[in-house]
Structure 1
Amino acid sequence: MSGTDSSGVTKTVWLERDDLLSKAPSYPQLTSDAKTDVVVVGGGIAGLHIAYELLSTGQKKVILLEDGKIGSGETGRTTGHLSADIEYNDFLKLHGADGTAQIAAAQQAAIDRIASIVEKHQIDCDFVRVSGYMFHGLPTGSADFRLDILEELYNAAENTATFRPTKYIQGLAKAVSDMGGEIYEKTRYMSHSEENGGVTASLDNDKKVQAQSLVMATNVPLQKLVMIERVEALRTYAVALKIRSEDVSSNGEQALWWDLGDPYHYVRVTPSKQEGYSLLVVGGEDEKVGKHDDYEERFQRLESWARERWTSAGDVQYKWSGQVLDSPDGIAYIGRDPGEDNVYVHTGDNGDGLTYAAIGGILISDLILGKENPWAHTFSPSRQHSGSHLKQALKTLPDVVKENLSDQVYFTKWITTCTKTMTDIEDLVPGQGDVVRQGLSPVAVYKDEQGQVHKMTAICPHLKGIVAWNSAEKSFDCPIHGSRFTCKGEVVNGPAKGPLQPK
């Protein structure tokens, strides 16, 4: 992992095949004060969609800020599903009939919007509309699950699609730039203030961007504690296995599968470089960030699960993990940030971030332009608001808030239970890290491939949680709110905005 060029060291099928981080166009760093109509923070698919929709109207100038490279965050670590939920019972309980209808309409409109953008700008990203199949326990057996077999057993969802997310956002970024949008990489947002009917964003190089509106599209909220407490950070895992195309398709058609068993799994197919073969991409095994250390076992469980159902699957070609944020009611927070006039937020995508990105582009663009949008109430970050923001968070997120608050005593528990000390550093294998105790202080330790030891405080600068070593991605992850740091302490994922300090 080099700086903030990637949020993980594992090679996803998209980042590897598209060689996104080395061959993608580079955008400059913002090195002077600037002024615009809207500043968008976050250069993933959500931020790019918001910038695109605003620029498409011809009414707003846009500056987009990305602290790494375009596509270096979580977009390229997804599995490339574009899906409208096909089981709405939970939504009916939580959002009622009207709210569920708005969710369905928004998701369908999002996929249609992505399709129209691909066509208009001729983006070469393998966008394909496919059938989708949802199961409650996908059966095992000796026969491979081809589409013609599935069609006899299950009803298909119609409005689903697949694409290569990294190629798509490359094309989307080009469209944003061609329309006059200003994109800046290696430019980190630090804070903002509202005054005189506008917003001023402060950057890590002491430069400022003045705007009428600011949009936070950073996956993890970077501004208010109350918004951070309303989402839960999870790691999700994926493997891609080589398989004969004829064993996973019927007449060349692809598909999406979702197995709602425990644990939850999701499956798609994407073309392989070798003619006659495809890659079977299987995801799942979600777990709370920093709470477990069985990373390799999770990859192995995904592989075993796939082989039990697609018996002709070959070698694993790729394996990777990504980070998602879950809200308590299953849908994203998209809209005006509670308590602020000209600040908007997009977060809590519940693993459907690619679809919600297009929803966010349409919805936030409408809100900034003062246009009515029928989805605004359903996705509002202030939904079901009553009383103070903290009381609202406690009311709507009792389980998540309770768990996050319990994490505040993690330090005491760690001190009393950790038996690893600085003398254990000698036992570290080169290329691995750990968190050890030096007196009463937690220390994050990484031994590089040359055997040199790097020591940092293990206390996250955000809210003082103690990080945990992620051996799969070679990162230090905070279990409280999902902040992540490279093996040498550089921040790659918020809400933390600064590094782990060297010891």
Structure 2
Amino acid sequence: MTSLWLDVLRPIPTDDFEPLASYDDVIVGAGLTGLVTALLFARRGHTVAVLEAGTVGGLATGSSSGLVSLLQGAQLQKIRQRTYQGVVDAYAEGSREAFSWLLDYTEGAGVDVERRDAYSYATTRRGLERVDSEYFVGRRAGLDLVKTLKVDVPFNTLGAVRLRDQAQLDPRELVAALAADVRALGGIIVENAHVTGVEAGDPATTHTSQGDVRSERVHLTTGAPILDRGLYFAKTTPRRSLGMAFSGVDDDDLPGALYRSVDAPSRSIRRHRGDLIVSGNTHGTGRAASETALAQDLEDWTTAHWPAARRRRAWSGQDYATLHGVPFVGFLPRGRGRVFVATGYDSWGMTNAVSAARMLVADVIGDDSPWMTTLHHRVTLPAAIGWGLGANAAVAWHFARGWTKALATPVSAGELPGEGEGVVGSEGLSPVARSTVAGESCALSAVCPHLGGIVSWNDQESTWDCPLHGSRFTPRGEVIEGPATRGMTPRPL
């Protein structure tokens, strides 16, 4: 299912791959982080190449919310609970600078931006405590937050915190403008160049499905790092969130602000160009019994409060949560100072992507701001370590559960799923994954090629998703997103 932003595509011009070409900086991933990084380097006279496995802005950025806000649900208190106030202050300052940079850029590039107030609201007493905590932590970090009881939504709330004059935009329009500016400055953007590895030599060599290129530096700006150095797959947790666009709601009944719940299940509500946009039901990748059921739940909730709403688009997107709520940005361990990484935006990619891009460039040119220095040198406290241990215990549980369930479910040689279905079972001692999509049946090894987890069927997106570290694959087993760098192994039907 494609997002609202990918509903009507306008082509984004790109370039041909040049084998063995040399650049100052190779950027892996043509989402928001990668394109802003490329633009900032190109403005400084660097030769840059952006290598994208799919299409420009077609994955995480194209499935994002398009919200540009410094009020981010209950994010600041999450960071404060797992770190210390200095890190909260640095994160808030980086977000402020990213917000200003992005709005300045969109104004100059002619990208349409809507300015609206943002609210984090509560529907339970526990949620109200979170609202109060976000207010105090945010005020201490310098945000002009206001507590209020007035929340213009058609259901009961107990209170909210408000931040004036935040923004929303179409992320596809943004990446199109960024790509054009990168190419105008001499940068190269290549689609369908799946990166399979990086050698951190002098120069660095990046291996792709179209050949190799060389560069002084390589910047990994994919959702999850495609290299296991640094073990970032064990330091982040992949999560998916559902989004829906509804038509049919009278203009007077559409929300006039940007609303985000602090309670579970998550609910984000706003209007965009005459549509009602509702997102939420965040869950671990590959761990939902049925994404279709989660989508139906979100639709039922919406029509219960906006009876005239009619679903016209549904999609889901993926992001990664870190131990402490702050992205990982900087040198990749064992990268010999030539490989850099940015990951872990925790559902707030519009500002965190820009902050990360600015940090990647500052690391190279040696121009760190004080907030960057704080984030680079933060101390991992016991609260964050405890969260990480719990997350990795869940990974181990899903590993064992997947293998046990697969081996306990034998499938016959001629057994094929129905249309739109996928099943996991075993042939002897071999876990197998079978699916039928658009009349085509496929059989694969059910073992994720990253670290051996057993994949599960995503009935909303018709994909195979790994519940361990979030790798995703097409029904044919081709990689959609990492950390896996190769596809699932085909098996005979």
TM-score of the two chains, using structure 2 as the length reference: 0.87
**Residue aligning to 1:295:** 291
Query: Any conservation in 1 of the 2:69–2:167 contact (CA below 8 Å)?
Result: yes
Instruction: Give the aligned residue type for 2:212.
Output: K
Equivalent in the alignment of 1:229: 234
Q: After superposition, where does 1:355-434 map in structure 2 within 5 Å?
A: 355-380=351-376, 383-384=378-379, 397-410=388-401, 412-425=403-416, 428-434=417-423
The structure 1 residue matched to 2:426, chosen from 416, 437, 443, is 437
Q: State the match for 2:207 in structure 1.
A: 202
Shift of 1:492: 0.8
Q: Distance in 1 between matches of 2:28 and 2:201?
A: 19
The partner residue of 2:166 within 135, 160, 166 is 160
Contact 1:421/1:436 (8 A) holds in 2: no
What CA deviation, in whole Å up to 9, does each residue of 1:318-345 have, x standing for no partner?
1111111111211211122234312111
Contact kept in structure 1, 2:4 and 2:313, CA below 8 Å: yes
What's the Cα RMSD here? 2.8
> What corresponds to 1:12 in structure 2?
3
C-alpha separation in 2, matches of 1:158 and 1:172: 27
Name 2:52's counterpart in structure 1.
66
Task: Tell me which residue corresponds to 1:262.
Answer: 264
Structure 1 residue 193: Cα displacement: 1.8
Could you tell me how far 1:159 is from its partner in structure 2? 5.1
Residue 352 of structure 1 is matched in structure 2 by: 348
Q: Report if aligned partners of 1:29, 1:186 keep a CA contact under 8 Å in 2.
A: no
Q: Percent identity?
A: 24
CA change 1:405–1:394 in 2 (3 A) is farther
Q: SS of the counterpart of 1:437?
A: strand
Paired with 1:79 and 1:171, the residues of 2 have a C-alpha distance of 18
Q: How much has 1:416 moved relative to structure 2?
A: 4.3
Which residue of 445, 466, 472 corresponds with 2:454? 466
Task: Supply the distance in 1 between the matched residues of 2:100 and 2:449 (Cα, whole angstroms).
Answer: 41
**Are 1:241 and 2:246 counterparts?**
yes
**Counterpart position of 1:211:** 215
Q: 1:154 to 1:476 in 2, by over 3 A?
A: closer
Letter in 2 for 1:39: V
Once the two structures are overlaid, the 10-residue window that deviates more, 439-448 or 210-219, is: 439-448
**Length-normalised TM-score, structure 1:** 0.85
Distance 2:192 2:384 in 1: 33
Task: Name the amino acid aligned to 1:98.
Answer: G
The answer as to 2:66 corresponding to 1:80 is yes
**Could you tell me how far apart the structure 2 residues matched to 1:146 and 1:396 are?**
35
Change in CA separation of 1:394 and 1:55 when aligned onto 2, cut-off 3 Å = same
Q: Which runs of 5+ in 1 are unaligned?
A: 1-9, 272-277
Asked if 2 retains the 8 angstrom alpha-carbon contact of 1:34 and 1:210, the reply is yes
* 1:54–1:396 distance in 2 versus 1, CA, 3 Å: farther
- The answer to whether the 8 A contact 1:52-1:176 is kept is yes
Partner deviation per Cα, 1:161-211 (whole Å, 9 max, x = no partner): 100011111111111111111111111111112234x42212234x32221
Q: Does 1:55 align with 2:46?
A: no
Measure how far apart 1:233 and its partner are. Answer: 0.8
Check if 1:494 corresponds to 2:485: no
Residue 236 of structure 1 aligns with an amino acid whose one-letter code is S
State the match for 1:3 in structure 2. Answer: none
Residues 390-427 of structure 1 show CA distances to partners (whole Å, capped at 9, x for unaligned) of x99967721122222344434541344325444442xx
Q: Distance in 1 between matches of 2:339 and 2:384?
A: 19
Q: Which amino acid aligns with 1:203?
A: T
Corresponding residue of 2:129: none
Contact 1:43/1:65 (CA < 8 Å) preserved in 2? yes
- Cα distance change of structure 1 residues 415 and 68 upon mapping to structure 2, 3 Å threshold: closer
| Partner Cα distance (1:145, 1:393) in 2 | 33
What is aligned with 1:134?
120
Opposite residue 343 of structure 1, the aligned amino acid is V
What residue identity is the alignment partner of 2:333?
A: P
The residue aligned with 1:44 is 31
Name the CA shift for 1:444/1:29 in 2 (closer, same or farther; >3 Å): farther
Hey, what's the Cα distance between the residues in 2 that align with 1:469 and 1:98?
A: 42
